[in-house]
Chains A and B, each alone.
Chain A
């Protein structure tokens, strides 16, 4: 039971703890390596990008954990005008993608995380869904590349298909179950 006299933030998110180390990863492969090492030493891992999430998902609550800081993963890899999709790394903010999209004659959906917040963290781990006045609630995640807790790499949607680089546009519903929803649920639970 949580202490009722604790600050409100602690009652919701847990008591903040001091991590042991911060690792600044520069690629998915490096994230995989760090996760495997953390497993070997039985140390919890917390991924962080901008740290702006108001649901407390970036607050370390276990003493001695590893913070995996993803700010170096900040590339906008591609904006496809025809399918109106963007392929981005986790440390791309709403503001940056919006500015780049406008150069392509596009704009991003509602900035649910604020201009300085990250899209990936908010859309996936916080399960946010922007509202569009014309189309209603939208599902902004088409395809994911995820490092699993055991260090393996998993791709969802059409990215899971061999030779996916030739597929355009990406599609969320491809062969097999929609793992994006499954992962979002897992990530939301682990972040709470």
Chain B
């Protein structure tokens, strides 16, 4: 089981799953809008 330490792998898999433009890590900007 992978740990959260490999954040880049995690984000990479998410981007592959839904498309790069639909994954955002700018969460504070998103939460304010």
Contacts and interface: CB of A to CB of B under 8 A. Distances in A.
A21 B23 contact: yes
A91 to B, nearest CB: 14
Interface in B1-33: 1-4, 6-7, 9-11, 13-14, 17-18, 22-25, 27-28, 30-31
Interface stretch (A37-45, A111-119, A124-132, A175-183): A37-45
A18 B1 contact: no
A134 B10 CA distance: 52
A30 B18 contact: yes
Question: Which of A21, A24, A30, A42 is the most central at the interface, judged by chain B CB atoms within 10 Å of its CB?
Answer: A21
B27 A23 contact: no
A43 B4 contact: yes
A22 B7 CA distance: 14
Contacts of A43: 4, 10
A40 B18 contact: no
A21 B14 contact: yes
Given A21-B23, A42-B1, A43-B4, A37 B28 contact: no
Among the interface residues A26, A34, A37, A67, which one has the most CB atoms of the partner chain B within 10 A? A37
A64 B4 contact: yes
Contacts of A24: 18, 22-24
A15 interface: no
A23 B4 contact: no
A21 B22 contact: no
Given A18-B27, A37-B17, A42-B1, A23 B10 contact: no
A96 interface: no
Interface in A44-68: 64, 66-67
A30 B17 contact: yes
Given A20-B25, A67-B27, A40 B17 contact: no
A42 B17 CA distance: 17
Contacts of A172: none
Contacts of B9: 41
List 10 A-B pairs, minimum CB-CB distance, nearest first: A33-B17, A24-B22, A41-B10, A37-B13, A30-B18, A22-B24, A19-B27, A21-B25, A22-B30, A23-B23
